Amino acid sequence: MATDSYRYLEAAGPDYREGGPLLFAFHGTGGDETQFSDLARQVFPEAIAIAPRGDVSENGMLRFFRRTGEGVYDMQDLADRTGRMADFIRAHAERLRPAATVGMGYSNGANILTSVMLTAPELFSHAILMHPLIPWTITPDDSLAGADVLVTAGGRDPICPPEMTGQLIEGLESRGAAVQSHWHAGGHEIDAGEIAAVGQYLEALRTRLLPVESLRVEREKISAQKGRYVVHGAGATEAEMSYSRSGANTLIIDHTEVPQAFRGKGIGGLMLDRLTADAREEGMAIIPICPYAAAQFKRHPEWRDLLAPGFDAS
């Protein structure tokens, strides 16, 4: 069976629920299926992680495909093993039916992941490529439209030269992928800033995957005169609508901020619904100077009686 074509480690994160996201983790040369097990649980606790072990030995070091020299790949072997890996990934995705399928690979693991994406682009919605090296030209098309990719690299990497990493980024973009990049000043090693960038990338994805019905609007008092309504996402991600008091009976909505990870979920509307309901219950008038709030008041005539006397939302 394709699910057993590699030796692999499967581990559910502490917050995983059936149907949750699936993360495939691919180790670098000399690593094994345990290389990213702790990191996967740390940065993506809602996912179930599958980490295959490379089955090619190069001087005793495990890899996912053969090469004849540094940066010189056995292209037929790469093609054969890319197809085999794609079948392995597809079989596990069909078994688990995940909300999203994410790939994360380092060095040789990033290379097999990239090759699979280019060959079977439907398998991954998101990918993290750490220090990849793809020494061939990517032909432009639209096969990766809708894919979201993070590429991390070292500015002095002797194994994956920065100019080749740049060519890979351009190649992925030429196929329609949205690509972010993170660079550090070192070489082929993974540094702390790189791990933080991976965590931030996945934090945004985790927030996008949250169902709207699970989100709650909280009211926080900042001081006697200031407060905010807030919706928390994954990690430190949050949306907020802040207000200040003017006199005893008036609230000024002065700021609304919804991060990109929350876009399309109607989070601003959820916060404004809660604020207007509280204002009506407490007998407060509202001055919406925030452009978002002012625009919403123009669209909702049922809120006009809450406007402070003499204030024109237009």
Q: Which is nearest to 267 in space by CA: 288, 250, 286, 292?
A: 292
Task: Please write the tens of the pLDDT for every residue from 63-113.
Answer: 999 998 777 899 999 999 999 999 999 999 999 999 999 999 999 999 999
Chain mean pLDDT for the chain? 95
Q: What is the pLDDT of residues 122-164, one digit of tens each?
A: 999 999 999 999 999 999 999 999 999 999 999 999 999 999 9
Note the pLDDT of residue 314. Answer: 62
Report the sign of the C-alpha dihedral through residues 162, 164, 165, 171, in that order.
positive
* pLDDT number for residue 68: 87
The Cα–Cα gap between 233 and 243 comes to: 21
First vs last C-alpha separation in the chain: 64
Q: Which domains does the chain have, with CATH numbers?
A: 2-208 (3.40.50.1820), 213-306 (3.40.630.30)
Residue positions annotated with a catalytic role: 107, 157, 188
Assessment of whether the complete model's pTM goes beyond 0.95: no
164 CB contacts (<8 Å, ≥6 apart)? 133, 134, 135
What span, in angstroms and rounded, lies between the C-alpha atoms of 50 and 52? Answer: 7
Low-confidence ranges of the chain (pLDDT < 70): 1, 313-314
3-state secondary structure 73-112: ECHHHHHHHHHHHHHHHHHHHHHHCCCCEEEEEECHHHHH
Quick one: CA dihedral 100, 121, 106, 60, positive or negative?
A: positive
Residue 70: predicted pLDDT: 79
Cβ–Cβ < 8 Å for 135, 114:
no
